[in-house]
């Protein structure tokens, strides 16, 4: 079986080399395994170059490049690294905001959702920290994993999350920002310094309070 697969993949590669810039690449694409990264990238780039007016090809190329960027950015999420920048829709679902817009501030990137009981339980503590340190240049950027705009908005109002930096693509667990930061559970936080560098991951409760006390001295 393994021998047959190897022969098939060799024949497929020969087919691709012989049919570059033709519609035949459409038929080859589904048969290329994800582990053949270089092969996959080559075919997608060929498709985009030859048929970039095709909506289907545009969609394939967009999805691939977006997925590639997410994987590349995720590697960089670690203390001491620059926090991957992103642009996401705000609460009105019209205005977009970038993380990099907050450079010069100490930023807590807070991943949460209205349906997340532990998140809602921790929100009062975040509100108090925001009140205490906002005059020192501390701010919060909340990334919601909600899928319902009204429930998201209601939770923001109910929990008195008065900072303006609320963003979400309303994709739930398919959140693009969540994928970039490798978030697999909420709540999850990323503390980022004024130069955009990650200080620590997943600080909450007393640990977060102590970190801010150490930074600001009060």
pLDDT in tens, 74-114: 567 899 999 999 999 999 999 999 999 999 999 999 999 99
Bridge partners of 87, per DSSP, are: 98
Q: Are 142 and 186 in contact (CB under 8 A)?
A: no
- Give me the pLDDT at residue 112, please: 99
For residues 110 and 142, is the Cβ–Cβ distance under 8 A?
Answer: yes
pLDDT of residue 4: 72
Do 176 and 169 meet the contact criterion of CB atoms below 8 Å apart?
yes
Neighbouring C-beta atoms of residue 138, cutoff 10 Å: 21
Hey, where are the domains in the chain? 2-75, 87-216
Q: What is the pLDDT of residue 77?
A: 87
Is the pTM here over 0.75, yes or no? no
Q: Are 108 and 208 in contact (CB under 8 A)?
A: yes
Looking at residue 70, its pLDDT comes to: 64
Q: pLDDT value at position 41?
A: 64
* Alpha-carbon span 172 to 204, nearest angstrom: 22
Both tokens of residue 124?
């009062």
36 vs 12: CA distance, rounded Å: 12
In this prediction, residue 143 carries a pLDDT of 99
CATH code at 87-216: 3.40.30.10
C-alpha of 129 from chain center: 25
* pLDDT at residue 183 in the model: 94
Confirm if 71 and 40 have CB atoms less than 8 A apart: no
- Listed as ranges, residues in the chain with pLDDT below 50 are 34-35
């Amino acid at each position: 079986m393994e021998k047959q697969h190897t022969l098939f993949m060799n024949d497929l590669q020969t087919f691709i080399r012989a049919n570059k810039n033709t519609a035949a690449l459409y038929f080859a694409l589904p048969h290329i395994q994800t582990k053949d990264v270089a092969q996959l990238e080559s075919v997608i780039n060929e498709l985009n170059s030859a048929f970039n007016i095709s909506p289907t090809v545009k969609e394939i190329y967009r999805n691939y490049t977006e997925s590639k960027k997410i994987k590349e950015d995720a590697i960089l999420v670690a203390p001491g690294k620059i926090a991957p920048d992103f642009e996401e829709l705000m609460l009105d679902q019209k205005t977009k905001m970038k993380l990099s817009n907050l450079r010069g501030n100490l930023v807590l990137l807070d991943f949460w959702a209205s349906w997340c009981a532990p998140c809602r339980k921790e929100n009062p503590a975040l509100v108090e920290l925001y009140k205490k340190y906002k005059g020192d240049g501390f701010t919060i950027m909340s990334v919601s994993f909600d899928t319902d705009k009204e429930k998201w908005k209601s939770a923001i109002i109910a929990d008195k999350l008065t900072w303006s930096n609320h963003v979400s693509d309303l994709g739930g667990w398919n959140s693009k920002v969540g994928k970039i930061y490798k978030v697999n559970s909420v709540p999850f936080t990323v503390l980022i310094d004024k130069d955009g560098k990650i200080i620590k991951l997943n600080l909450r409760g007393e640990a977060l309070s102590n970190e801010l006390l150490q930074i600001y001295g009060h």
